[in-house]
Structure 1
Amino acid sequence: MSEYQYYEFLAIDRPLDERELEQVRALSTRAHITHTSFTNEYHWGDFRGDTTQLVEQLYDAHLYYANWGSRRLVLRLPAGLLGAEAAAPYALEESLSVWTRSGHTLLDFSLSSEDGAEWDFESDFSLSVLVGLRAELSAGDLRALYVAWLAGLSVWEQAEDDEEEYAGEAEPPVPAGLATLTGPQRALAGFLDVDPDLLAVAAQASAPAPRAATVDRTALSAYIASLPTAEKDTLLLEAVLGIAPRPGPELLGRYHATRRPGPHTTIERRTAAQLLDAAHLRRTERTRRLTEEKAAAVRARALEVSRARETRLDQLAQGSERAWRDVDQLIGEKKAGPYDIAVTLLTDLREIHARAGTSGDFEDRVGALRATHRGKPSLMRRFDAVGLPNP
């Protein structure tokens, strides 16, 4: 069984310099490496570098997955855009870790493989699909963090531990818009294998997603003017030196944070046990409904087929003698396909004669066919298979 591992890194806020590029190239001779990206696949062996350290020091995003089930996404954001204290309530050992390093907040979304789990040869993930989460989180959209928390609950439910352990675990603040996730957020839910029923019941306590924020230039200008001069000078200096070449998003994120309401919860915060119970009930009801819909569809199809057969038999009854002649002609071709069609016609004629009360006539005519064609064993087997009379 061949193993497969995929590694991808992106440098977003600033490209790697030549010294850093050489440092990364020393870790792999087969990877595709540029000043802003690193991509490699392994069908044997392992990556020699420390992936966590690479994100802490050089890259802003990292994706890893293996066909035995392990998955990992690490995002690095300036702490001024998302502080660790804002992300920490969503952290669970099974799905999300949060820490800080050198003025950055690091978010480690992960799904570990379990012993005995089936290997996954179908999944194919790309960092380009998930990296949009970084911009969303920078703008204060915390839905990705709540999705990660739900992923941890999904792991708990699969483990089938004592539910009483979850009664004391309260959900973190519920962000708005859980019922209408963005593309990157939906991709994260799939990446972390979040139970869709659990996500649906969690979204019941989530307010509608706010409309895209519009910037009040006057208010933004006043906010920037209120910042300490030394702080603004530092931002410009770092931009010029390439240390932080994009101060705009950070400043805009900080501005929105001053005007943004906190996470919205319309009901009392639920426990993990309550959410898991609600998801189980929803899943059970959804399964029951789908089963009933499938059964109704089968019944409707059977009725449709029955009505079509009745119509066909009515039409055949009007020209039954022609049908008998067709049977003779088909048998005369001495081929498997025509034999099958002849036998189908005979089963229809049997029902037509039964409806007309002339089953005896049908038996006599089939007996005559058997006597005439007894030397055709393939045809006789077909007669026997559908129970045609054999006097």
Structure 2
Amino acid sequence: MRRVVITGMGVVSPLGNTVDDFWEGLVAGRSGVKSLKDITHSDLFEHLGSEFASQVIAEVEQFDEAQQLPEPIRQRDRCVQFAVSAALQAVHDAQLEGASAIMRDNWGIAFTTAIGAAHTTEASYCLATHNGTQALDPEKIPPAFYLDWLYHTPAMMLAHLLEVHGPCDTITAACASGVDVIGHAYEMIQDDEATLMLAVASEAPMSPTRYGGCDIIRCLARGFNDQPHRASRPFDKMRSGFVMGEGAGAFLLEERDHAIARGAPIYAEITGFGLTSNATHMISLKPTTSPHLTRAIHQAMNEAGITPEAIHYINPHASSTNQNDQTETRAIKGALGHHAYEVPLSSTKSELGHGLSAAGFFGAIVATLSLTRGMIHPTINYEEPDPLCDLDYVPNHARPFTGTNALVITSGFSGTHATLVMQKAERSV
């Protein structure tokens, strides 16, 4: 079986739009969460904001990088722009701008999003119906709207920009998609369907209908509207839901011998992938579903050929909802046994909110950076322990790290669970 390594990374996030800014913000324990009334990139909330029970978001506030993108990309939805920006960072980081024609024929793209072009879709509807007060007028829908409407647009545009001719796939599995798409790209290289894969997740869900859809089912945080920076609090007893976030992450994955032969930087190796479904409920994640997440963890560990004691760090899903945090804690104990109490976990969502498909990708980037930079970022806002969430969540302060294996966990609406095991590279940057 061919080995797969990470040779490039890119990110767009509420804490910064480079890997270094992203990491520095996380390690410092900064919150990217703000009040909904302070949203900067969308006027769709102008007359609606006060209706929502949740009043907090995690926005990519400064996205000046959009001006550096090719003109066709600048005309597209924010989700497309985020995807391309993060992807081009990863390509540059992997030193692949001058790839040969043969290399480009063996280079594929795997993309995911849970929501797609939320802002453009809703803005087009408002334009074509005079904010929903008139019958839809098709003449008012922009002719190029189909490019935003199609989930596959970012993958297609990246293939065109990079002139790569390998597999070009788009998959979606709700909030588990970020890890799922990395696993898909990993397996494409394992199975010799490609030598390089650009894996990308992008999310820009800030529109009233998407926000309202989560608000109405009581998924969003309601407890700290007057203190947004305290609203996302995974594993804390006072948690009241997740904070909707946005952003994008990208990996350049590569067959290990190929990466070594061209002298590429190697950050980490992906050694295991697990994917299961609890097949129980679209949104509920009750403790009785935990064995199915435990199976996904076991799948990844078994493929990596490691025991529970070899897991040195976990980046969990940790959505800050009551059900998820308790169920995930239970599943981790089921998979790791007594070692669950010895391994540190830290929640990236505590600082970035829940970026849907991008959230799992953020977790994989964080695990990679923990392995390469020797630090674990904190779970912020951890103030009052929940007796049913009793593991080491690295509360409020970063911690030095010397481990060699990390586990990344995601779960998504519809009951999907995806996991990765990542190993510090033998030949690293």
Tell me which interval the TM-score lies in, with the shorter structure as reference length: under 0.3
* Structure with greater strand percent: 2
TM-score normalised over the length of structure 1:
0.20
* Structure with greater helix percent: 1
